[in-house]
Chain A
Amino acid sequence: MSGTSGGTYLGMPAFPEAAHDAVRDTTLRGNLRHATHTIRAKRAHAVAEVSDWAELREAGKRIKDHTLRHLDRYLVQVEETVTAAGGTVHWAADAEEANRIVAGLVRETGESEVVKVKSMATQEIGLNEALEAEGIRAYETDLAELIVQLGKDRPSHILVPAIHRNRGEIREIFAREMSEWGRPAPEGLTDSPAELAEAARLHLREKFLRAKVGISGANFVVAETGTLVVVESEGNGRMCLTLPETLISVVGIEKIVPTWRDLEVFLQTLPRSSTAERMNPYTSMWTGTSDSDRADGPRTFHLVLLDNGRTDTLADEVGRQALRCIRCSACLNVCPVYERAGGHAYGSVYPGPIGAILSPQLRGTGSEIDASLPYASSLCGACYEVCPVAIDIPEVLVHLRERVAQGGTATREGAKVVLRPAKGHAAERAAMRAARWAFGRPGALRAGQRLASRTRRLHPRTLPGPGRAWSESRDLPPVPAEPFRDWWRRTNGGEDGAK
Chain B
Amino acid sequence: MSDRDVILGRVRRALADVTPDGTPYEAALPRDYLREHGERSLARTVELLAENLADYRALVHRCAGVPELSALIAGLLAGRGARSVLVPPGLDGAWLADTGAEVTRVADEAASTAAELDRVDSVVTGCAVAVAETGTLVLDGSPDQGRRRITLIPDHHICVVRVPEQVVGSVPQAVARLDPRRPLTWISGPSATSDIELNRVEGVHGPRTLEVVLLGDA
Contacts and interface: CB of A to CB of B under 8 A. Distances in A.
Interface of A: 31, 34-36, 38-39, 50-52, 55-56, 58-59, 62-63, 66, 69, 71-72, 75-76, 85, 90-93, 97, 141-144, 147, 159-160, 162-163, 166-167, 170, 193-194, 196-198, 200-201, 204-205, 208-210, 222, 225, 227, 233-236, 238-239, 242-243, 253, 258-261, 263-265, 267-268, 275, 277-287, 293-294, 296-297, 305, 307, 311-312, 314-315, 317, 320, 411, 414
A278 B195 contact: no
Interface in B178-218: 180-207
B7 A55 contact: no
B80 interface: no
B44 interface: no
A143 B8 contact: no
B37 A283 contact: no
Contacts of A201: 203-205
B199 A236 contact: no
Interface in B131-184: 131, 133-136, 141, 147-149, 152, 171-172, 174-176, 180-184
Contacts of B187: 281-282
Contacts of B101: none
B180 to A, nearest CB: 4
A201 B191 CA distance: 11
Interface stretch (B28-36, B64-72, B92-100): B28-36
A-B pairs, top 9 by smallest CB distance, nearest first, are: A235-B206, A235-B205, A311-B10, A315-B14, A234-B204, A55-B33, A279-B134, A283-B186, A144-B195
Contact of B141 (A144, A196, A296): A296
A222 B136 contact: no
A414 B197 contact: no
Given A239-B152, A282-B191, A315-B13, A75 B7 contact: yes
A305 B29 contact: no
B175 A263 contact: yes
Given A197-B204, A283-B186, A411-B13, 19 more contacts: A35-B197, A66-B28, A72-B8, A142-B195, A163-B198, A198-B203, A210-B114, A225-B181, A238-B152, A238-B185, A253-B11, A277-B200, A278-B135, A279-B136, A281-B206, A307-B6, A307-B7, A311-B10, A414-B9
B38 to A, nearest CB: 8
Contact of B2 (A91, A142, A163, A238): A91
Interface residues of B, number: 76
B105 to A, nearest CB: 19
B9 A235 contact: no
Contacts of B152: 235, 238-239, 242-243
B178 to A, nearest CB: 8
Given A51-B34, A69-B18, A234-B192, A193 B12 contact: no
A296 B195 contact: no
A170 B196 contact: yes
A170 B29 CA distance: 46
A307 B10 contact: yes
Contacts of A209: 113-115, 118
11 contacts: A38-B197, A66-B29, A93-B10, A193-B197, A193-B199, A201-B204, A204-B205, A205-B118, A293-B110, A305-B7, A307-B6
